[in-house]
Amino acid sequence: MNMITTKEHHLRHGGVQDGDKPRASGGAGLTGGARAMGMAAVWVLLTLAGGVVSAEPGAEAAKAKRSGDRVVAKVNGMPIHASDLEAMMSAQVRMLSYRYANDPVRLKKEMADVKRAALDGLIDCQLLEDEFFRLGGFIEKEDIENDVRQVVQESFQGDRSALMAEISAMGMTFDKYREMRERMIIMSAVRARIANSVQVTDEMVREHYEKNLHNWRGRESMKFHTLTVRNMGADDRKLAEGLRKRLVKGEDFEEMARENSIDSRADGGGAWPWTRLSDINDSVSEVLAKMKKGQVSPVLDQPGTLVILRVDDIRETEPKPLESVKEDVRKSLLEELGREKVLNRLSHLREAADIQKMGPVYGAVE
């Protein structure tokens, strides 16, 4: 079995016993985001996994860089290229371009903010990757292959061609996607290693519970709107997606429901009165339970129809007793403290690192 040494030179760091070396594995804590969200965009996956794309390592990769691919930053001598920034930002750029198509001033500002945040994310990724190899971490080919298979199975119902189509739609090669997944595996492993030493007491758990009572309330009933269209083919799907885009941009839901919806609430603009979640079919109630006030849902597949929801108001129950949710509270607290520990470690790594940004980022993605 061949080991992938993402940065051979990092393995010169010694002093870590084999039992302490972080093994990067595609299964732990990585594809949960993919299970929940699918792969609507690589940006979403990267955000949920806590990772980003870093520069291609080694001499061979350096030779492969196209001549016009400028360096936008260096971290301890390792370059980050404009193409890495483009790959990380592709989904965000398309989303912003659509959202602010009629507001060029706002679009320019949002793009600049996203580019700065993306470059900072790439720098943090490089720092954590350095830390991974400093600790003697390693990743094998089978880890990446298993991870990709898991994404195909859990996010694309086992249809590999659907994953390939999504990758192609983002202007990305499969090799680049595999490289991104490799970095995500590494990021997941090193973040877990940093966070795993966190300890909590029962008193800390109680304080966290009382501070975040809203998290332990259940949803009893909701007011919402629906817009329903027939689902007889690709044209209906295209119609529903187009209507949703208009709703997300702020068009009047009730007017659009009266004009386009076929459900029993259409004449009233799709409005529903206070309705208990237990009285709604499971596939819809599960979506509503996760939505925020004012949020518009994705297009939902129902038997013979496509449905769009908007949440108008929420009534919650009293908080569940601590004893009944104690393990969930403990897990939430461990995650919060773990994130803080990772951020503190990153802060120290930044202070100790030689980080160079090569001028403004604005021109990296146009």
CATH number at residue 142: 1.10.4030.10
Whether residue 327 lies inside any domain: the answer is: no
Residue 155 has pLDDT above 70, yes or no: yes
Residues 163 and 30 in one domain: yes
For residue 105, pLDDT beyond 90: no
Whether residues 312 and 337 share a domain: the answer is no
Q: Indicate the number of domains in the chain.
A: 2
Q: How confident is the model at residue 18 (pLDDT cuts 50, 70, 90)?
A: very low
Residue 360 pLDDT:
59
Mean pLDDT of 333-354: 93
Q: How many CB atoms lie within 10 A of CB 351?
A: 8
Does pTM surpass 0.75? no
Shared domain for 181 and 287, answered yes or no, is no
| Mean pLDDT confidence for 210-224 | 89
Residue 13 DSSP label: -
- The pLDDT confidence band at residue 22, using thresholds 50, 70 and 90, is low
Q: For position 40, what pLDDT does the model report?
A: 29
Distance, in Å, from the CA atom of 82 to the CA atom of 69, rounded to the nearest integer, reads: 6
Mean pLDDT of 134-142: 85
Determine the pLDDT at residue 228: 97
Query: pLDDT over 90 for what percent of the chain?
Result: 41
Question: What CATH number should be reported for the domain holding residue 292?
Answer: 3.10.50.40
Residue 366 has pLDDT above 50, yes or no: no
pLDDT of residue 74: 94
Q: Is 350 exposed, middle or buried (0-12, 13-18, 19+ CB in 10 A)?
A: middle
pLDDT of 359: 66
Helix (H) or strand (E) holding 241: helix 234-248
Please count the CA atoms within 13 angstroms of the CA of 348 that sit on its side-chain side: 7
* In the predicted structure, residue 182 carries a pLDDT above the cut 50: yes
Could you report the per-residue pLDDT of 50-104, keeping only the tens digit for each? 333 333 334 334 444 445 688 999 999 999 988 888 877 877 787 788 777 778 8
Residue 293 and residue 354 in one domain:
no
Say whether pLDDT at 34 is over 50: no
The answer to whether the beta carbons of residues 176 and 84 sit under 8 Å apart is no
Instruction: Report the amino acid identity of residue 121.
Output: G
Within a 10 A sphere around the Cβ of 305, how many other Cβ atoms?
18
Q: Is residue 21 part of a domain?
A: yes
- For residue 308, give its domain range: 218-316
Name the more confident of 47 and 243.
243
Is the confidence at residue 8, as pLDDT, over 60? no
- Looking at the structure, do residues 72 and 156 belong to the same domain, yes or no? yes
Q: Kindly state the percentage of the chain with pLDDT values over 70.
A: 79
Are 128 and 167 in a shared domain? yes
Are 300 and 152 found together in one domain?
Answer: no
Provide the residue type at 248 as one letter: V
Identify whether 30 is part of a domain.
yes
**Average pLDDT of the chain to the nearest whole number:** 79
Indicate the pLDDT class of residue 214, thresholds 50, 70 and 90.
Answer: confident
Top pLDDT among 210 and 27 is at: 210
Any residues with CB less than 8 A from the CB of 10 and at least 6 apart, and which? 130, 133, 134
* One domain, residues 269 and 340: no
Per-residue pLDDT tens digits for 253-302: 999 999 999 999 999 999 999 999 889 998 899 999 899 999 999 999 99
One domain, residues 180 and 263: no
pLDDT at 266: 95
Same domain as 353, residue 264: no
Under DSSP, the state recorded for 263 is: S
Assigned domain for 343 exists: yes
Q: Are residues 57 and 105 in the same domain?
A: yes
Looking at the structure, do residues 105 and 195 belong to the same domain, yes or no?
A: yes
Nearest to 188 by CA among 29, 76, 12, 14: 29
Find all residues with CB under 8 Å of 103, minimum gap 6, and list them.
none
pLDDT of residue 10: 31
- Asked whether residue 209 is domain-assigned, the answer is no
Separation CA 296–CA 364 (nearest Å): 33
Residue 210 placed within a domain? no
**pLDDT: is 149 or 169 the higher one?**
149
Range 231-250 average pLDDT: 92
Pairing relationship of beta strands 300-302 and 305-316 according to DSSP bridges = antiparallel
On whether residue 62 sits in a domain, the answer given is yes
How far apart are the C-alpha atoms of 121 and 337, rounded to whole Å? 20
